Structure 1
Amino acid sequence: MFMTDIYLDLSIVLGLSLIVSLIIRWLRQPLIIGYIITGVIAGQAWLAWLDNDGLESFSQIGVTLLLFIVGLSLNPRTLKEVGKIAFLTGLGQIVFTTIFGYLVTRLVGFEPVAAIYLAVAMTFSSTVIVTRLLQERRDTETLYGRIAIGFLLVQDFVAMIILSLVAAVNSASGQSWLTIGMELTAKIIVITIAVILVMRFLVPRVDSKLAHSKEVLFLASLAIAFAMATLFDQLGLSLELGALLAGIMLSVSPYQVEISSRVRPLRDFFIIIFFIVMGSRLDLSMIGNYWFQAVILSLFILIGNPLVVLIIMGIKGYRKRTSFLVGLTMAQVSEFSLIFLSMGVYVGHLQAEIFGFMTLIALITIAISTYFILHADRLYKILEKSLSIFELKKYFKEEEGGNEKHAEVILFGCDRLGGGILENLKKADKSFIVVDYNPELVARLRGDGIEIRFGDASSAVFLDNINFTKTKVVISTVPNFEVNRFLARYFKNIKANPAVILVASYSHEARKLYDMGATYVVMPPYLGRRYMTELVYKYGTVKRNYIRERQRHLGDLEYV
């Protein structure tokens, strides 16, 4: 009977999901919205009549695989790269949202325990949704994209600790909070040491043997993920924490990308079920009772979370555009939020209707924030003047003209690709100015004696304050098509008429930039193919020539 039920459930929800998704795609709307709508329709029409335990299990598998892949991205190098701004902003946002969230939930009538749970749940943003949307916008390598991802990683770590605490409280009935805290701290210390040892000594030795077969590597990765999840469940912690740490252990593997790419399609299937099940949990009858609270808390998340980020990043010296774009990525509740509240219901701290209430808020905020993120540039143009009040730190303000240095080369963007170009500009007998809007990078380069301007490359007001009279070459390494399109138009119309070298990810973008006046457009895939061809033509079949080239390449990897 179970097999019949699960096939019936899957047939209904996947068939309905296909129909809804086709309509959503025709309307040019995000597919995530379609999955949630599918769940709402199915939840009202069919799932109440069926045994949907199988779908719940599939949903849990989706969460486990999601957190495993999140863990794969929590490489220590990634955490170091995003810097302290993600850490400070992440913790600051969690603290402020929890405090003010508690006050708001109490004002709208919730009891203290429920208010605490809801306030904490509102602090977390959705890693899976934000990451997907950033990839869709091709913004994962931009400054704001990297900060947003780092911000989410900080939230994931905090959520991991909170989930562990709730699980520990559930498994330690009758014990004092001090005892529970000490036991949890001891477990975290032991687990942390074990994970570090495994990452350092075991993973590099084992995965090289497993990698000879992609199928074996895939199976081993899944085995580790589910074994860790089961182990943590038996230790009185959470399945989610085990899956996350399994991914962290494998994040140092040189085959991490291969593992992630193999697991991701499996995750996508089960995550579709997760969103459908999430939508099915919405009890439409409760909307009439909680509509006012739902509207207030949804506005708090949609407006309050971005405001907190804007203020904190403004204090740290970031431009309003960067702060605004990062803030928009935080305007929804997370899958962690629902997991956290479901654990609260399971341990008896909350009534089931609180979970349904948060599901309603999740649907509202996920739907609206999806449009926020996808149309962030339009929103910024509308609100640009009003956002100036959030540029709170003045010592990084854009310099006025007057004593402006005459530069032959202007370099926009000095991270990764730009860092390598900067080293070559130092060696050349050419005057240059660097432009970047990462205040930490600006401070470091100024300390090194580099002529650098803090400002937004897409701001005509800022560019008008730079003296381009003797500029011969303009180089942009900013991985954003809109910024490069603006630069192409701007420098096409100035008197100096410099050579303008831009970057593009796709051929249609390169053609548009050429049409707008770009002198040359760098496309990494194209240049990679051309360079490989030239390499083979130059070095032929002599291995030592390639070894010499490898040594030069290893030196350049510092800037990649």
Structure 2
Amino acid sequence: MNSIYQEFALLLMVSAVIGAIAVRLRQPLLVAYIIVGIVVGPALFGWVGAHDQIDLLAQIGITVLLFVVGLKLDLHHIRHIGPVALATGLGQLSFTILFGFFIVLALGKGWLEALYVAVALTFSSTIIIVKLLSDKRELDSLHGRIAVGFLIVQDLAVVVAMTIMSGLGGMGEEGVGGMALALSLLARLGGAALLLFVLMRYILPRIVDTLARSQELLLIFAIAWGTTLAAAGEYVGFSKEAGAFIAGFSLASTAYREAISARLSSIRDFLLLFFFIDLGSKLDFSTLGDEVGTSIVLSLFVLIGNPLIVMAIMGYMGYRKRTGFLAGLTVAQISEFSIIFVAMGISLGHVGNSALGLTTLVGLITIALSSYMILYSHHLYAWLAPWLGVFERRHPFRELAVEHAQRDTVRPDVVIFGLGRYGSRLAHALTQQEIHVLGVDFDPEVVRAQQHHGMNARFGDGEAPDFVESLPLAGVPWVVSTLPDYASNRALLHALTLNQFKGHIAIVARDEAEAARLIHFDQVEIIHPFNQAADFAALDLAARIASAELASVKEPS
């Protein structure tokens, strides 16, 4: 290339093309960006030589990423992490680190490299999981909220691990004893905590209040504050990553955290592109071949072991096997933090490049496979359900607590499956018309909320024939499903057929494509909420226009 500008233009265009292919294949962009680095790097075409510039942008991207993580972890949010999410998160972390460490040791690695890789295997990608659950409309479901809860626990663990390992930067140096190293680490942690308290209590709120008068200036300050503390963290013997997190956390309790986070998100995503491209371009394929077997073993450990421990913990705590399975799939991959954590170990001199190559291979395998596992989680559960009974108590008390609440004995006129925004509004509107409604939802908190508002609501899984059999469906004229996907509606129809339901069935279709698939079911009426809302709005607006014209005609001239 003739200039750095042309190299960057080519880099961005290749990223856009390969990224589009990844989206088409329903893969996270993280995988695409690493592939871009491999394609444009010396391993294949060698198109890009501006490695210093890319490395600088990559470091700033990591700084912004850790800053945003700290920004979102305000003290109020941390205090309200549920006991289930906390227990599951800590249990999964402990299991993966302990067993992962011994597995990596058994595969011939040194103890420090085994420790780094084992810790890296514990982290799951919050960004990827939230995106996948949001696309499936499961972010607010019971398993979705529990998963987000223990992902927050993992985010906290990332920062703790980075802080401790960066504080142990003197490991291996001659003349540095273990006690001296521990005392030095404690002194630096204490100093950082004291400085953070003073900044959050007395200084930063006033500064941010002044700067917030200009949104552009607030954004510049956020980036400047993050990079400054990142540089300071590296200077005092920690790492840039730990300093960036502290910078974000120091602003997490301000009233402007959401505004700052929203503006930084797109900048973070753009700059992280260069980190993963830089990572892909530096992969040494001459040594990666030796790590293929190890990466497959560790990938199987993450893909199978992590979900199993989550299912075991959640089953013990009183959740059904289905909830544990769906939540467990969210930890069946490692994250961008895993790669960043090992890269930090290289910069500290703790591990070599082989550890980063191994972690990257495990990341590519687990992220690619787990994305499909989450996308097709309900099909996967239907296939594996007969063998998952060991992960469910005979009395799953947490999920049964709402199911055994007092129920209305009046035969319902309508049973509505799914009490989200549309389903709950439909139920309340019918109730106002003195129509008896029974609402069903798989989320205990949704059921409690609707019961609090006076609805006859019952907790249960509409896809389970045994539960559908327990409902008072005899003589019920209508069943309405607002379930979010085709597979769930098909399972509900199968359960209703098995229980010989004789009434009418209506299913809410969210778009024309979904309606086209649902129309193939016999004796099912399709509700088009958006079309009906538009038709009603058109009739109402036309009536208003006609009324106004009639009034103008009657006015005396």
Which interval holds the TM-score relative to the shorter structure? Answer: 0.7 to 0.9
* 1:276 is the counterpart of 2:274: no
Which residue pairs with 2:466 in the alignment?
A: 461
CA distance in 2, matches of 1:456, 1:25: 31
- For residues 256-275 of structure 1, the C-alpha deviation after alignment (integer angstroms, 9 at most, x for no partner) is 44433322222222122222
Q: Which residue of 2 aligns with 1:545?
A: none
2:550 match: none
Residue 193 of structure 1 and its aligned partner are, at CA, apart by 3.1
The alignment status of 1:70 with 2:69, answered yes or no, reads: yes
Question: Which SS does the other structure have where 1:469 is aligned?
Answer: coil
Amino acid at match of 2:190: A
What is the Cα deviation at residue 141 of structure 1? 2.6
Q: Which residue of 2 aligns with 1:10?
A: 8
- Determine if contact 2:427/2:437 at 8 Å carries over to the other structure: no
Q: After superposition, what is the alpha-carbon deviation per residue over 1:361-401, rounded to whole angstroms, capped at 9, x for unaligned? A: 2222222222222332332232232233322362437789x
1:156 corresponds to = 155
The separation in 2 between residues aligned to 1:424 and 1:497, in whole angstroms, is 21
Deviation at 1:431, TM superposition (A): 7.3
Q: How well do the aligned residues superpose, as a CA RMSD in angstroms?
A: 4.5
Which residue of structure 2 lines up, in the alignment, with residue 41 of structure 1? 39
Offset, 1:192: 5.6
Matched, 1:50 2:54: no
- Matched residues, percent identical? 35
Task: Look up the match of 1:183.
Answer: 187
Q: Which of 190, 193, 197 matches 1:193?
A: 197
**Partner-residue secondary structure (3-state), 1:371:** helix
Question: 1:434 deviation in Å?
Answer: 5.7
Is the CA contact (8 Å cut-off) linking 2:37 and 2:278 kept in structure 1?
yes
Matched to 1:372, the amino acid is M
Gaps of 5+ in 2: 545-557
The one-letter amino acid paired with 1:190 is: L
Read off the aligned partner of 1:469 and give its amino acid letter: A
Distance apart, 1:220 and its partner CA: 3.1
Q: Given the superposition, is the C-alpha separation of residues 4 and 250 from structure 1 closer, same or farther in structure 2, using an over 3 Å criterion? A: farther
- Distance in 2 between the 1:160 and 1:252 partners? 18
Question: In 1, distance between residues paired with 2:282 and 2:290?
Answer: 16
- Cα distance in 2, alignment partners of residues 302 and 68 from structure 1: 29
State the alpha-carbon separation in 2 of the partners of residues 254 and 481 from structure 1.
Answer: 41
Q: Look at both structures and tell me which one has the larger radius of gyration over its CA atoms.
A: 2
**1 CA distance for matches of 2:512 and 2:333?**
34
8 Å Cα contact 2:142/2:444 also seen in 1:
no
Separation in 1, partners of 2:119, 2:455 = 44
In structure 1, runs of 5+ residues without a counterpart are: 538-560
Q: 1:5 to 1:54 in 2, by over 3 A?
A: farther
1:225 aligns with 2:204: no
Cα 1:227/1:138, change in 2 over 3 Å: farther
Check 1:211–1:392 CA distance in 2 against 1; reply closer, same or farther (3 A cut). same
Distance 1:420 1:233 in 2: 54
Which amino acid in the other structure matches residue 176 of structure 1?
A: A
Q: CA deviation at 1:491?
A: 6.7
Residues 47-126 of structure 1 correspond to what in structure 2 (within 5 A)? 50-76=49-75, 78-79=77-78, 83-126=82-125
Residues 27 and 462 from structure 1, CA distance in 2 versus in 1: closer, same or farther, beyond 3 angstroms?
Answer: same
Question: Partners of 1:34 and 1:525 in 2: how far apart?
Answer: 40
Q: What's the CA shift for 1:154?
A: 0.8
What TM-score comes out, normalization by structure 2 length?
Answer: 0.77
| Change over 3 Å in CA distance of 1:168–1:476 after alignment to 2 | farther
> Residue deviations 1:56-77, cap 9 Å, x none?
2211222222233333433455
Counterpart residue identity of residue 56, structure 1? D
Cα distance in 2 for partners of 1:310, 1:518 equals: 37
- Per-residue deviation, residues 416-468 of structure 1 (Å, max 9, x unmatched): 99899999999999977664445688899999999865432332332122122
2:70 is matched by which residue type in structure 1? G
Q: Distance in 2 between matches of 1:196 and 1:485?
A: 53
Equivalent residue letter for 1:261: A
Deviates more, 1:15-24 or 1:118-127: 15-24
CA distance in 2, matches of 1:485, 1:211: 51
Corresponding letter in the other structure for 2:282: R
Distance 1:120 1:32, change over 3 A: closer
Letter matched to residue 89 of structure 1: T
Contact 1:142/1:479 (CA < 8 Å) preserved in 2? no
Moved more, 492-501 or 10-19: 492-501
Match of 1:130 in 2: 129
CA contact (8 A) 2:428 2:455 kept: no
Q: Matches of 2:329 and 2:168 in 1, distance apart?
A: 34
Amino acid at match of 2:463: S
1:280 deviates by: 2.1
Counterpart contact for 1:72–1:247, Cα < 8 Å? yes
Shift of 1:224: 3.1
* Residue in structure 1 matched with residue 325 of structure 2 by the alignment: 324
Alpha carbons of 1:260 and 1:515: their partners in 2 closer, same or farther (altered >3 Å)?
A: farther
CA distance in 1, matches of 2:78, 2:533: 30
Using the alignment, how far apart are the partners of 1:210 and 1:498 within structure 2?
Answer: 60
Aligned in 2, Cα 1:515/1:253: closer, same or farther, shift over 3 Å? farther
Alignment deviations for residues 285-342 of structure 1 (CA, whole Å, 9 cap, x no partner)? 2233222212111111111111111111121222223222222221222222222222
In 2, the alpha carbon distance for the partners of 1:513 and 1:302 equals 33
